[in-house]
A = this chain, B = another copy of it.
C-alpha cells in the first residue's frame, strides 16, 4: 500500500467510522454471535498473495461488526463506559504513524516529554497534592490499564517494604529474613476493591486479604475496619505492606473514607518510616470527576498516600488504553523496576533531566499514548470536560428519579453515585431469594433482547442491576427508553408473562458462554 493507496483506503475507512458513529444507536448494542462464529467465516490461513484494501474493508461490516459489542452506543449502560472520541482516534493514528518502542528518551524524546507535560497537567486538573507532580519527587506515567498499574505499585511496595525493613541485616541473616517476610506479607484490599488487587498479589507472590465493606458503611472501608484487620494480621504474624483504597468501587461507585484510613495508618504504620503501608487509590472510573471542583475535596488525604490511578480511557473521552498512574515518590517505582545499577541511575534519572519511563512500568517498550490525551484535553478544554462529567451526573439523577416513580417495581440499593445507580426488582411476594431470582431473570432477559446492555452485580449478598450511562452519545431519551424496557420486562417476568421456559433458555444461553458469573466478579475497572 503506497501513500496514494493509503489516502484512498484511509478516506474510505474514515467514512465508514464516521458513519458507524452516526448510526451506532441503530445497531443491537450487545453482540449475539455464538462462540466460535468468526472462525467459520474466515479461511484457514492468510492469503498467499496480498489483497486490495477494498476486499479487506468489506469484511469489517460483514464479519467483524456482528461480533462487536458497541461501547459507544447510547444504549450501552453496562460495566463502566469506555469512551472513544474522534480527537482521541486521531491521536492513536498519529501514534501509529510515529511508531517508536520508546523505551528511553532518545528513542523519540517527544514521547517521553509530552507524557510528562500532560500528566502534570492532569495532576493539577485533578487537584492532586503537589507531591504527585514531576516537578516534585513524584510524577505520572501512562500505563495500559488500572490493573497493570496495580501490579506495578504492588511490586514496588513489596520491594520497598522488604528493603526498608531488612536494611539493618546482611548475609545469610538478610536472606532468611527476606524469605520469611515474603511468606508473611499481605496486600490488603476491601471487599469492594476491584479484583485486580488480588491478581496483583498473586503475580507479586504475596498473600491477599480483603477488608469487610458492609452495607452499614455504604460498602466502603474506613479507618476502624482497617484497624481491625491490621490487628488480626499482627496476631497471626502477617505483615501488611500494601492497601488498595477506592474512589468509585466497581459495584456501586462508593468512596472509601480516606481521612480515617490515613489517620489509622499514622498510628499503625506511620508514613515515611520503614514498614509503612503503601496506599494506592484506585479511581479508575470515578477519578474523572475530579476535573470538577465540586469533587476535589476528595483528594484532601492523598498527600498521605503513595499512588493514585485514573483511566482517561473510561469516562474521560480517550480511547483505551490510557491509564494514568501518579506516584508520590518516583524513586520507589524506579528502585523496583530499573535493572540499572543505582550508581548509574542516580547520576541521570534522579537529576530529573531525563525520564526513563521504562523504569516506571513492567514492560520495556511503550506507545505514544500522551498524544491522544493531549488532543482530547485541547479539543474539549477544561470546561468541556467538566460539562461532559456533569452531564452524566445529571443523567444518573434523572434515571434514579425514574426508578423512584415505581417503588412497587424497583428498589434503589445505592446511588446515583458518579452516574451509577444500583437497584433490584421488587417481587410481588416472597423474600430475598425471590427478589434475587426475579432481579436476575429480569437482568438476563433484558440483555438477551439486547436493546440496551446492562451489568449485574452481587452487593452485600444481594443480586442487583447496575445502570451507568456515561458515553458521549448518552441522552435522557435513552435512559427513558432503558427505564421503559426495565419496567416492561420486570412486569412481564413478575407476572409470569415471560414463560419460565423462555427465562430458562435465556439463562442457559448466557451461562453457556461462561461469562455472566465473571462479569460481576471482575467488573470493568480494567
A517 vs B371: C-alpha distance when bound (angstroms): 28
Q: How many copies of the polypeptide does the oligomer hold?
A: 2
If A18-B3, A339-B202 touch, whether A144 touches B47 (CB-CB below 8 Å) is no
Q: Check A110 against B515 for contact (C-beta < 8 Å).
A: no
Q: Check A353 against B36 for contact (C-beta < 8 Å).
A: yes
> Could you say which of B5, B18, B36, B99 contacts A113, with CB atoms under 8 Å apart?
B36
Chain B CB within 8 A of A1 CB? yes
Please give the distance in Å from A190's CB to the nearest CB on chain B: 16
Interface string of A173-190 (1 = CB under 8 A from B): 001001110110000000
If A69-B108, A93-B89, A319-B96 touch, whether A113 touches B39 (CB-CB below 8 Å) is yes
A108 vs B15: C-alpha distance when bound (angstroms): 22
Which 4 residue pairs across A and B have the least CB separation, nearest first?
A: A365-B526, A348-B514, A67-B110, A179-B183
Chain B CB within 8 A of A11 CB? yes
Across the two chains, which residue of chain B brings its CB closest to A205?
A: B205
Q: Check B182 against A90 for contact (C-beta < 8 Å).
A: no
Please give the distance in Å from A429's CB to the nearest CB on chain B: 32
Please give the distance in Å from A147's CB to the nearest CB on chain B: 4
Residues of B within 8 A of A146 (CB): 364
A144-184 contacts to B (CB < 8 Å): 144-148, 151, 155, 158-159, 175, 178-180, 182-183
A23-46 contacts to B (CB < 8 Å): 30-31, 33, 35-39, 42, 44-46
Residues of B within 8 A of A22 (CB): 3
Chain B CB within 8 A of A294 CB? no
Which segment, of A80-88, A476-484, A500-508, faces chain B?
A80-88
Please give the distance in Å from A312's CB to the nearest CB on chain B: 12
If A21-B3, A85-B1 touch, whether A514 touches B364 (CB-CB below 8 Å) is no
Q: Check B124 against A50 for contact (C-beta < 8 Å).
A: no
Q: Check A13 against B339 for contact (C-beta < 8 Å).
A: no
Q: Check B381 against A49 for contact (C-beta < 8 Å).
A: yes
Q: Check B96 against A84 for contact (C-beta < 8 Å).
A: yes
Chain B CB within 8 A of A413 CB? no
Chain B CB within 8 A of A458 CB? no
Across the two chains, which residue of chain B brings its CB closest to A156?
A: B203
Across the two chains, which residue of chain B brings its CB closest to A1?
A: B86
Chain B CB within 8 A of A407 CB? no
Q: Check A358 against B522 for contact (C-beta < 8 Å).
A: yes
A265-289 contacts to B (CB < 8 Å): none
A436 vs B3: C-alpha distance when bound (angstroms): 43
A347 vs B11: C-alpha distance when bound (angstroms): 45
Chain B CB within 8 A of A7 CB? yes
22 contacts between A and B (CB under 8 A): A6-B86, A9-B86, A33-B110, A35-B105, A46-B382, A51-B379, A53-B90, A67-B108, A93-B93, A99-B319, A101-B145, A179-B180, A182-B205, A202-B337, A202-B339, A203-B203, A205-B205, A320-B367, A340-B518, A349-B514, A353-B513, A358-B522
